[in-house]
């Protein structure tokens, strides 16, 4: 058993729902009790989807157990087929149905439904949402295309001269972070290179579209969490190479263009030399000097966390002080990236562990999911959301991709906005303790003034000046001096000073101790 307050990922059948909901003309019959229908609201509320997810639940009850639950599956399947007439059906079960072992997949296969039926076995007690989405997409693609697989050893014919290369864009899905706009941005980039798009899937694709996947010259694995397994199978089966760079950030977008060039044989130099993103200039302009060395904590799914770490480090000049992910499947890559940055990766799906680390690190900016937003809000830290899971406010109306050059522009704005502006920060440091321009004031361009001052106060409370026996206590003037330190580093200064004093067996912390400790720990 695992004690859980908040979860980053839902169960694997929610992943399957994401695939079904992304697509057209697919219907998913899910053997599940009524409460599991809550999952519909993820799509209709968070993403404001205007249609119900194409999912029919059997909603079996206790009184059905030990008797008619299997019949319920077949009736539900037949009714759902009749009503929705999909091109293909997915059949699966949620955690509870897995325990009663009706095997809805096998039942469905035995029914001779007039459309392809893809049975899904997604173990709920060991796997999670992204894995479920990835498996579902893979089984759907494979189920539809296995019959069309060429002999082993198949070589792709050379593309005729003058015919533009053709790519599939794989991975964008319902409840994926900013997928809608990313796809548009990537399509634009590809078209500037003269690469045509064959199929985008799962988002907006129908089973008939999936049947056309092998026509493309190569696949772009835009969201590895969803499409990596499928791309690997397509590479093995149809000899389609995969572009694996996730084009988030200026550097990664350039790498992506380069990789597309390699795989497709088109000349990408013009686009690489073209206008690109405004991020590099914005980052070099003098106003951005104040961004240098900002301490940033990053947490999210592996792709977005890795991309954020690279951008933070190479493109904005931040110091990445924490990097982590809930995607255990990609733990290795995240660990490697963290090592490169000289830190240790946090691989966990325990919200409290993340919160603890944020609290200990006291970063100046938190980049994370919906969960980290809450952590940051509680601790009074600036935050930007960079990864699923996200809430309704992170599904904006305006065009706001993360990928490509425009994505880099959006990221620059999105990450810098929550911070104090350059000059403002200098003034703040100069006039600490000023009666109206004090450190607990929110950045002047953000009207969250109600939230900000409260949070540091809470923090203070936890470490209030209550003498603990055997530990150094703060002299009043040292305590006053401590309050002149900007709030976002104050917690750290307090802890460092206390540690410094304790290590030296000092009973009282004076102003001198405070500055001794500052010199000792440096920054």
Partner 1 sequence: MSLPAAVPMTVHARGCNELPVLRERGQREVFCGLTGIVWLHRKIQDAFFLVVGSRTCAHLLQSAAGVMIFAEPRFATAILQERDLAGLADCNEELDRIVHELLARRPEIATLFLVGSCPSEVIKLDLGKAAERLSQAHRGRVRVLNYSGSGIETTFTQGEDNCLKALVEELPTAEPTMRSLLVLGTLADVVEDQFARMFQQLGIQSVQFLPPRQAGDLPAVGQGTLILPAQPFLGETVRALIGRGARLIEAPYPLGAEGTFAWIQAAAQAFGVTDERLRLATARPMERARSALARFRDTLAGKRISFLPDSQLEIPLARFLQRECGMQPVEVGTPFFDRQLLAGELPLLPDNLRLSEGQDVDLQLDRVRSDRPDLTVCGLGLANPLEAEGLRTKWSIELVFSPIHGFDQAADLAELFARPLVRCERLAV
Q: Could you list the active site residues?
A: 287
Q: Which stretch binds partner 1 (CB under 8 A): 88-96, 268-276, 328-336, 501-509?
A: 88-96
- Kindly give, in sequence order, each residue whose CB lies less than 8 Å from that of residue 473, ignoring residues fewer than 6 positions away: 465, 467, 507, 508, 509
Question: Cβ 119 to ligand SF4, closest distance in Å?
Answer: 21
Compute the distance between CA of residue 430 and CA of residue 93 in angstroms, rounded to an integer.
Answer: 61
Helix (H) / strand (E) containing 405: helix 404-416
Out of 18, 27, 31, 128, which residue is the one contacting partner 1 (CB under 8 A)?
Answer: 128
Compute the distance between CA of residue 174 and CA of residue 52 in angstroms, rounded to an integer.
Answer: 12
Is 85 an interacting residue with respect to partner 1 (CB under 8 A)? no
Residue 504's binding partner, choosing from ligand SF4, partner 1, none, with beta-carbon cut-off 5 to 8 A by kind? none
Q: Are 509 and 473 in contact (CB under 8 A)?
A: yes
Closer to partner 1 by CB, 14 or 189: give it.
14
Compute the distance between CA of residue 160 and CA of residue 100 in angstroms, rounded to an integer.
Answer: 55
Question: Cβ 75 to ligand SF4, closest distance in Å?
Answer: 20
Compute the distance between CA of residue 122 and CA of residue 80 in angstroms, rounded to an integer.
Answer: 21
Q: State which residue has the least CB distance to ligand SF4.
A: 35
Closer to partner 1 by CB, 62 or 450: give it.
62
Q: Are 174 and 46 in contact (CB under 8 A)?
A: no
Q: In terms of C-beta density within 10 A (0-12 exposed, 13-18 middle, 19 or more buried), how is residue 385 classed?
A: buried
Question: Cβ 73 to partner 1, closest distance in Å?
Answer: 12
Is 96 an interacting residue with respect to ligand SF4 (CB under 6 A)? yes
- Kindly give, in sequence order, each residue whose CB lies less than 8 Å from that of residue 142, ignoring residues fewer than 6 positions away: 230, 233
User: Which parts of 372-411 interact with ligand SF4 (CB under 6 A)?
Assistant: none
Closer to ligand SF4 by CB, 34 or 75: give it.
34
Closer to ligand SF4 by CB, 56 or 283: give it.
56
Neighbouring-strand partners of residue 383:
366
Residue 158's binding partner, choosing from partner 1, ligand SF4, none, with beta-carbon cut-off 5 to 8 A by kind? none
Q: Are 148 and 208 in contact (CB under 8 A)?
A: no
Is 33 an interacting residue with respect to ligand SF4 (CB under 6 A)? yes
DSSP class per residue in 104-168: HHHHHHTTT-SS-EEE----TTT--HHHHHHHHHHHHHHHHHGGGPPPTT--PPPPPTTPPPEEE
Is 353 an interacting residue with respect to partner 1 (CB under 8 A)? no
Question: Cβ 36 to ligand SF4, closest distance in Å?
Answer: 4
Q: How many residues bind partner 1, per CB under 8 A?
A: 56
Out of 17, 42, 366, 501, which residue is the one contacting partner 1 (CB under 8 A)?
Answer: 42
User: Which parts of 44-83 interact with partner 1 (CB under 8 A)?
Assistant: 44-45, 48-53, 56-62, 65, 76, 79, 83
Closer to ligand SF4 by CB, 33 or 486: give it.
33
User: Which parts of 275-314 interact with ligand SF4 (CB under 6 A)?
Assistant: none
Rg (CA), the chain: 27
Compute the distance between CA of residue 366 and CA of residue 295 in angstroms, rounded to an integer.
Answer: 9
Question: Cβ 4 to ligand SF4, closest distance in Å?
Answer: 13
Is 35 an interacting residue with respect to ligand SF4 (CB under 6 A)? yes
Question: Cβ 153 to partner 1, closest distance in Å?
Answer: 39
Helix (H) / strand (E) containing 508: strand 508-509
Compute the distance between CA of residue 308 and CA of residue 175 in angstroms, rounded to an integer.
Answer: 19
Question: What is the binding site for ligand SF4 (CB under 6 A)?
Answer: 33, 35-36, 95-96
Question: What is the binding site for partner 1 (CB under 8 A)?
Answer: 1-7, 9-11, 13-14, 33-42, 44-45, 48-53, 56-62, 65, 76, 79, 83, 94-96, 99-100, 123-126, 128, 352, 370, 374, 378, 391
């Amino acid at each position: 058993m695992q004690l859980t307050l908040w979860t980053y990922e839902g169960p694997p059948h929610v992943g399957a729902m994401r695939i079904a909901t992304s697509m057209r003309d697919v219907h998913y019959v899910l053997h599940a009790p009524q409460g599991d229908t809550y999952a519909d609201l993820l799509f209709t509320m968070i993403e404001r989807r205007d249609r119900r997810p194409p999912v029919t639940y059997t909603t079996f009850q206790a009184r059905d157990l030990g008797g008619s639950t299997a019949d319920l599956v077949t009736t539900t399947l037949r009714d759902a087929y009749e009503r929705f007439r999909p091109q293909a059906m997915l059949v699966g079960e949620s955690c509870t149905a897995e325990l009663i072992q009706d095997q809805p997949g096998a039942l469905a296969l035995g029914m001779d439904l007039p459309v392809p039926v893809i049975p899904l076995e997604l173990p709920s007690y060991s796997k999670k949402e992204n894995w479920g989405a990835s498996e579902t997409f893979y089984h759907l693609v494979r189920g539809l295309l296995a019959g069309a697989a060429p002999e082993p050893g198949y070589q792709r014919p050379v593309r005729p001269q003058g015919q533009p290369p053709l790519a599939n864009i794989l991975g964008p899905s319902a409840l994926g972070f900013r997928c809608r706009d990313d796809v548009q941005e990537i399509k634009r980039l590809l078209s500037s290179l003269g690469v045509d798009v064959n199929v985008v899937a799962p988002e907006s694709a129908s089973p008939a579209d999936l049947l056309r996947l092998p026509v493309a010259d190569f696949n772009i694995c835009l969201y590895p969490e969803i499409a990596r397994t499928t791309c690997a199978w397509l590479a093995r089966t149809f000899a389609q190479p995969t572009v694996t760079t996730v084009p988030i950030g200026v550097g990664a977008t350039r790498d992506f263009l380069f990789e597309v060039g390699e795989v497709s044989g088109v000349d990408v130099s013009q686009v690489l030399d073209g206008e690109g993103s405004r991020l590099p200039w914005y980052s070099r302009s003098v106003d951005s000097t104040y961004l240098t060395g900002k301490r940033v904590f990053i947490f999210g799914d592996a792709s977005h966390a890795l991309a954020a770490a690279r951008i933070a480090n190479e493109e904005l000049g931040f110091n990445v002080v924490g990097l982590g992910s809930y995607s255990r499947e990609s733990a290795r890559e995240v660990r490697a990236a963290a090592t490169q940055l000289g830190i240790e990766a946090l691989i966990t799906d325990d919200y409290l562990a993340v919160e603890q680390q944020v609290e200990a690190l006291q970063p100046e900016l938190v980049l994370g999911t919906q969960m980290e937003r809450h952590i940051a809000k509680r601790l009074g830290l600036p935050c930007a959301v960079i990864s699923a899971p996200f809430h309704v406010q992170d599904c904006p109306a305006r065009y706001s991709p993360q990928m490509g050059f425009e994505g880099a522009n959006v990221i620059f704005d999105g990450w810098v906005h929550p911070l104090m502006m350059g000059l403002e920060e200098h003034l703040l440091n100069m006039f600490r303790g000023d009666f109206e321009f004090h450190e607990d004031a929110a950045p002047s361009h953000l009207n969250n003034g109600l939230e900000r001052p409260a949070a540091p106060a809470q923090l203070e409370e936890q470490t209030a000046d209550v003498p603990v026996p055997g530990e150094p206590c703060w002299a009043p003037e040292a305590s006053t001096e401590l309050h002149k330190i900007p709030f976002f580093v104050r917690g750290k200064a307090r802890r460092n000073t206390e540690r410094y004093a304790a290590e030296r067996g000092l009973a009282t912390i004076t102003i001198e101790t405070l500055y001794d400790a500052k010199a000792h720990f440096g920054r």
